[in-house]
């Protein structure tokens, strides 16, 4: 064997040896991106119970709504009580179409109405992350709903009446920051699920995007975050909003309480400064709407 052939074989062998390592590095990168999506998507806040020592992402957190109390499910990779057995397509369909692997519609307490615009790539990164965490065997708690709501049929009827799947397409007339902000606010971060008022039967009132919701989750009044000067956050600069999403401080030195506190803790404070800024740029671009009288 010539020297060149030996070298060539050695190089080939080295390349082969590197394949698993390379795949491992790609998996790690995907998991890291997925962890970021889990923060940006607010998964942690809803899917981890509030009790001290509650298992991470194993569900059980109560979400009170005018329609009853929902309990978030286990999204750890446990094959029986979690999402361990889900295929990529089933996972994507849950978010983009609001349909569970069993073929049932979700109640919109799972905000697929916003998540529908999240890209398949982001969702599969998220799935890679969720698959990488510690599986927890913990059965899901039944929702506490009135009889007329108590079946998946009701969820299916709601979905067929009020839900339209859509993908997010960047607006070519806007810059990159605005488009990133729109994606985060409208879809992944699902800000409107709390800050946009709901019309009949809980569908979001698109005409009043982010103009405040007098009857938010848990009966809490959610503030108007449009740039209206008196009723919204019109006096806040992009920097003010960015800083608020980082540490929870309002421009006047007060601190966010209520249900925004865990959002800052689990979600927005983990984002890059660029992403927080993109959210601010998008919010500043919205029509300034007064509170509804």
Contact residues for 136 (Cβ-Cβ < 8 A; gap 6+): 55, 56, 57, 58, 74, 76, 78, 81, 82
* In 41-89, beta strands by DSSP E: 62-65, 68-71
According to DSSP, the β-strands at 62-65 and 68-71 are antiparallel
User: What is the smallest separation between the CB atom of 108 and other proteins, expressed in angstroms?
Assistant: 24
User: What is the smallest separation between the CB atom of 207 and other proteins, expressed in angstroms?
Assistant: 27
Residue placing its CB nearer to other proteins in the complex, 215 or 265: 265
Residue placing its CB nearer to other proteins in the complex, 182 or 245: 245
CA distance 234 to 231: 8
Residue placing its CB nearer to other proteins in the complex, 12 or 255: 255
Contact residues for 16 (Cβ-Cβ < 8 A; gap 6+): none
User: What is the smallest separation between the CB atom of 231 and other proteins, expressed in angstroms?
Assistant: 16
User: What is the smallest separation between the CB atom of 272 and other proteins, expressed in angstroms?
Assistant: 15
Closest CA to 263 of 292, 222, 228: 222
User: What is the smallest separation between the CB atom of 257 and other proteins, expressed in angstroms?
Assistant: 5
Residue placing its CB nearer to other proteins in the complex, 8 or 239: 239
Closest CA to 44 of 248, 277, 265: 265
Helices 238-247, 273-285: inter-axial angle, 10-degree rounding? 130
Q: Are 57 and 75 in contact (CB under 8 A)?
A: yes
Tokens describing residue 174? 């806007």
Q: Which residues bind other proteins (CB under 8 A)?
A: 220, 237, 239, 243, 246-249, 251-259, 261, 264-265
Contact residues for 42 (Cβ-Cβ < 8 A; gap 6+): 189, 190, 263, 266, 267
User: What is the smallest separation between the CB atom of 67 and other proteins, expressed in angstroms?
Assistant: 22
Residue placing its CB nearer to other proteins in the complex, 51 or 102: 51
User: What is the smallest separation between the CB atom of 259 and other proteins, expressed in angstroms?
Assistant: 8
Residue placing its CB nearer to other proteins in the complex, 230 or 261: 261
């Amino acid at each position: 064997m010539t020297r060149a052939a030996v070298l060539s074989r050695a190089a080939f062998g080295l390349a082969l040896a590197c394949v698993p390592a390379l795949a491992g590095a790609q998996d790690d990168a995907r998991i890291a991106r997925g962890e970021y999506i889990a923060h940006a998507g607010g998964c942690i806040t809803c899917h981890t119970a509030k009790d001290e020592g509650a298992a991470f992402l194993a569900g059980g957190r109560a979400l009170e709504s005018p329609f009853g109390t929902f309990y978030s499910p286990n999204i750890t990779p446990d094959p029986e009580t979690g999402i361990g057995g889900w295929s990529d397509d089933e996972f994507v369909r849950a978010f983009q179409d609001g349909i569970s692997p069993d073929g049932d519609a979700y109640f919109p307490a799972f905000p697929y109405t916003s998540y529908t615009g999240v890209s398949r790539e982001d969702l599969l990164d998220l799935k890679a992350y969720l698959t990488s965490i510690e599986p927890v065997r913990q059965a899901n708690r039944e929702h506490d709903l009135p009889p007329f709501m108590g079946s998946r049929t009701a969820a299916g009827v709601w979905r067929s009446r009020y839900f339209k799947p859509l993908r997010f397409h960047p607006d070519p007339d806007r810059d990159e920051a605005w488009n990133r902000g729109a994606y985060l606010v409208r879809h992944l971060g699902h800000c409107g699920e709390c800050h946009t008022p709901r019309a009949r039967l809980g569908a979001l009132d698109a005409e009043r995007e982010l103009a405040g919701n007098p009857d938010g989750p848990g009966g809490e009044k959610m503030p108007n975050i449009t740039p209206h000067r008196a009723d919204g956050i019109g006096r806040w600069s992009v920097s003010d909003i960015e800083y608020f999403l980082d540490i929870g401080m309002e421009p006047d030195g007060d601190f966010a309480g209520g249900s925004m506190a865990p959002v800052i803790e689990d979600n927005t404070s983990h984002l890059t400064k660029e992403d927080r800024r993109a959210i601010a740029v998008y919010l500043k671009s919205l029509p300034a709407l007064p509170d509804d009288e």
